[in-house]
Structure 1
Amino acid sequence: MINVLLVDDHELVRIGIKRLLQDVQGIKVIGEASTGEGAVALAKELMPDVVVMDLHMPGIGGLEATRKMIRYNPDLKILALTIYTDEPYPSRLLRAGASGYLTKGCDPEEMIRAIRVIHRGQHYISPDIAQQIAVQRYTKGNESPVDSLSERELQIMQMITRGQKAPEISKKLCLSSKTVNSYRYRIFAKLNIKSDVELTLLAMRMGMIEGAQAEVVSE
């Protein structure tokens, strides 16, 4: 039996995936979480075999949650299920320890197949995303503007563009507000921008955030 933990901040998404998997032989959903912090806590408590997780959620998000869960349990298999197809997300998440990466537009059969494949210790990446990673890796002049950001800088960029302020980010990441602001200005310098609004607009152009998220940031 493959025990699965579902992680997504949209309850309807979790309900849909749970209903899909409940009739699949050999797979059982043993828990659900709506935040990265909740995922880390439940992964420690329930010890699932596979975590099916969204990338963008309130709090630390899927990237940092992946890093924390793998640090605690290196044998855990994590399958990203997200709307985001563009770099740097797939490569960064796989480097953080995820075993698979799918888009939410995939067929149900593909998600079931991916769960079984990564449970066997292999990796599973949607063919279109795998091709994109390969093309970007071997094509000069096709770098993303955020490729120059460190893992921590990318994480803080994501949190800023979701409308989170320095005190909230510092609490989530256990950093001082001064350190968070230092990262913030370093991000601005690397991306040649001057404000959170410009950062949000850049993230929108790159497909890193949805319109609804951007409206909250830019108000």
Structure 2
Amino acid sequence: MIKTINIYLVDDHKLFREGLKLLLSGLDYVGDIYEASDGSEFLMNVAAYQPDLVFMDISMPGTGGIEATSKALAHNPNLKIIALSMFSDENYYTKMIGAGAVGFILKNSGIQEVEQCMQAVLSGHNYFSPEIMSGILHNITRKPRQQYDGTLSEREEEVLYSICQGLSNIEISEKLCISKRTVDKHRENLLLKTNSKNTAGLVMFAIRNGIMEV
């Protein structure tokens, strides 16, 4: 049985918030649904509401989604934030990943994909709609590849490559014949060395530096 979760919707378009709220309220495991029209209102109330999941618009007047995500996660690193995107937001995808978003869906997604994204994120995974992933990869690969300085050890590169393949820490430990605790430590070191906040950030680093080909 899935525990009841509380959700925070952050978007400057009231009609969109009300539509998404109506869809989400039809899911039997969704409890309270809070709303904010911009990043400032969200930041003012997020500590009091303590949501399990946040749907965050990227482009909003005033405090936008990137800044709001970064500030919220600085106070609560365990908060799960899903970015709501339009195709026109493509240039902001990598910035939103850098801020710490763990999921990306298009605003015209149906409830089935929204729920799929929610389940993935709540299970500790990242989720990107196929259209958005294509845009992210296009945005990365069209830029000059960064000069990788080799700061990662050979083992760390092996772990990073395995992470990019979508393997769990247990699967990586079995593949590389090392303990899960060792994999956990390598993942922590990778996040620090690459200045990444989550798995999505590690994947972006690997692609930019030629560790993972696309």
Q: C-alpha displacement at 1:59, in angstroms? A: 1.3
Q: Which residue of 1 aligns with 2:113?
A: 110
Residues 25/61 of structure 1: CA separation in 2 closer, same or farther (3 Å cut): same
Q: C-alpha displacement at 1:78, in angstroms? A: 0.4
SS at match of 2:90: coil
Q: C-alpha displacement at 1:134, in angstroms? A: 2.2
Q: In 2, Cα distance between the equivalents of 1:77 and 1:8?
A: 16
Whichever residue aligns with residue 66 of structure 1, its letter is T
Where does structure 1 lack aligned partners over 5 or more consecutive residues? Answer: 143-219
- Tell me the percent identity: 39
User: For residues 175-194 of structure 1, what are the structure 2 equivalents within 5 Å?
Assistant: none
Residues 95/29 of structure 1: CA separation in 2 closer, same or farther (3 Å cut): same
Whichever residue aligns with residue 42 of structure 1, its letter is N
Q: Which residue of 2 aligns with 1:48?
A: 51
Whichever residue aligns with residue 16 of structure 2, its letter is V
RMSD across aligned C-alpha pairs, in angstroms? 1.8
Report if the CA contact (8 A) 1:6-1:53 is conserved.
yes
Whichever residue aligns with residue 73 of structure 1, its letter is N
Deviation per CA, 1:151-178: give whole Å up to 9, x if none: xxxxxxxxxxxxxxxxxxxxxxxxxxxx
Q: Which residue of 2 aligns with 1:216?
A: none
Whichever residue aligns with residue 122 of structure 2, its letter is H
Q: C-alpha displacement at 1:136, in angstroms? A: 3.4
Deviation per CA, 1:99-148: give whole Å up to 9, x if none: 11111121221012111211111111111211222233234569xxxxxx
Q: Which residue of 1 aligns with 2:70?
A: 67
Q: In 2, Cα distance between the equivalents of 1:101 and 1:3?
A: 19
Whichever residue aligns with residue 71 of structure 2, its letter is K
Residues 84/65 of structure 1: CA separation in 2 closer, same or farther (3 Å cut): farther
Q: C-alpha displacement at 1:77, in angstroms? A: 0.4
Q: In 2, Cα distance between the equivalents of 1:80 and 1:51?
A: 8
Report if the CA contact (8 A) 1:70-1:97 is conserved.
yes
Pairing 1:17–2:20 present: yes
Q: In 2, Cα distance between the equivalents of 1:29 and 1:84?
A: 29
Report if the CA contact (8 A) 2:86-2:107 is conserved.
yes
Whichever residue aligns with residue 60 of structure 1, its letter is T
Residues 122/36 of structure 1: CA separation in 2 closer, same or farther (3 Å cut): same
Q: C-alpha displacement at 1:85, in angstroms? A: 4.9
Residues 61/86 of structure 1: CA separation in 2 closer, same or farther (3 Å cut): closer
User: For residues 159-174 of structure 1, what are the structure 2 equivalents within 5 Å?
Assistant: none
Q: C-alpha displacement at 1:76, in angstroms? A: 0.2
Q: In 2, Cα distance between the equivalents of 1:12 and 1:115?
A: 21
Worse-matched range after superposition: 125-134 or 15-24: 125-134
Where does structure 2 lack aligned partners over 5 or more consecutive residues? Answer: 146-214
Normalising to structure 2: TM-score of the pair?
0.62
Whichever residue aligns with residue 52 of structure 2, its letter is D
SS at match of 1:15: helix
Report if the CA contact (8 A) 1:8-1:34 is conserved.
yes
Pairing 1:138–2:141 present: yes
Q: In 2, Cα distance between the equivalents of 1:21 and 1:90?
A: 24
SS at match of 1:78: strand
